[in-house]
Amino acid sequence: MDRPAVDIRFEVLTGDALERHLRELARLRIDVFREHPYLYIGSMEYEARYLRAYQEAEESVIIGAFDGNALVGAATGLPLSAEPPTMTEPFRARGLDPESFFYFGESVLQRSYRGRGIGVRFFEEREAYARSLERFSRCCFCAVERSEEDPRRPADYRPLDRFWHNRGYRKIEGMSVSLSWQDADETEESLKPMSVWMKSL
């Protein structure tokens, strides 16, 4: 049974608040995305650029989860139309208007804080934020696709599909986008297929 997140403080990070926690956010992303299924090798320089893009994008949001003064998790979102064509064109090809979607970039959380309802709260906070903007009818996110036969897959790994279904999200069958990053066992970046999940607001 999940432990409640009653001792966790949630804060929308913008401006000076984001600036103060930028390095913590970068380190958190690197640490969490090193795990399966992302297997991501990141750098502080890249992460700083990535997070500053959220800081500068209109209508973007970063929500931080704090235990006392320590940042233990974060979730991001921004209008899908702010993403590059490699993200938006697959939507247009399916007759879906990117302008109507608010895109959830990621949720990252230290392992010891998982199972306490924080992930649920991240979705609730971003959905509420998207509704407050009053111009989005749907929200969506992407999830990396890895083979069940991948030898790097931990024996205890559990996909998050059920969690996402319980939040009301459904996978758009037959649709995928591609994003590029360097896996832990790669010498350079390569494209990774990503499934698309969405929900009406």
Q: What's the pLDDT score for residue 165? A: 96
Q: What's the pLDDT score for residue 104? A: 96
Exposure class string for 15-30: b at 16+ Cβ within 10 A, else e? eeebeebbeebbebbb
Q: What's the pLDDT score for residue 14? A: 77
Residue 93 CB neighbours (<10 A): 9
- Block mean pLDDT (10 aa), the chain, length 201: 68 82 87 84 81 83 93 94 91 96 94 92 96 96 86 82 95 88 81 92 95
- Mean pLDDT taken over the chain: 88
Nearest to 25 by CA among 3, 46, 56, 4: 46
Q: What's the pLDDT score for residue 133? A: 94
Q: What's the pLDDT score for residue 184? A: 77
Query: What's the CATH fold of domain 9-200?
Result: Aminopeptidase (3.40.630)
Residue 34 CB neighbours (<10 A): 13
Q: Which amino acid is at 185?
A: D
CB 77 within 8 A of CB 54: no
Q: Domain extents for the chain?
A: 9-200
pTM (global) more than 0.75: yes
Asked if omega into 154 is within 30° of 0 (cis), the reply is no
What is the Cα–Cα distance from 40 to 49, expressed in whole angstroms?
16
Instruction: For residue 162, report the phi and psi dihedrals to the nearest 5 degrees.
Output: -65, -40
What is the Cα–Cα distance from 59 to 134, expressed in whole angstroms?
11
